Amino acid sequence: MSETTIDTAELGEKIVNVLKTIYDPEIPVDIYELGLIYDVFVNEDYDVKILMTLTTPNCPVAETLPLEVEEKVKSLNAVKDAEVEITFDPPWTQELMSEEAKLELGML
């Protein structure tokens, strides 16, 4: 392993930190804490694939949010490419929100 090799776990953390800067425009909580991110895959070429959902299929940011996620993740130096796949299986529910998000929204 050369010194320039980035460990994928470390890169995963950086990706999560970037995801925590992206907010749902209707809910003052970031998309990670909302539970919209189902999975983040990083391969050995540092291509990133993010499996995420939206709060509803006709969410007003259905067009722009995945692009914002891709752009921000691609902006990380170690990331070669990023792709977002939207899924509604399983559908998003409030149960997927972190305790922090529920607290923020006064649900606890």
* Per-residue pLDDT reduced to its tens digit, 14-61: 999 999 999 988 888 999 999 999 999 999 899 999 999 999 888 888
| Backbone φ, ψ for residue 57 (5° rounding) | -60, -30
Give the pLDDT score at 56: 87
- Domain with 75, as residue range(s), is 8-92
What CATH number does residue 85 fall under? 3.30.300.130
Residue 4: pLDDT above 80?
no
Report if pTM > 0.85. Answer: yes
Cα separation, 99 vs 108, whole angstroms: 8
Q: Where are the beta strands (DSSP E) in 1-108?
A: 37-42, 47-52, 81-86
Q: How many CB atoms lie under 10 A from the CB of residue 9? A: 8
Tell me whether residue 1 is in a domain: no
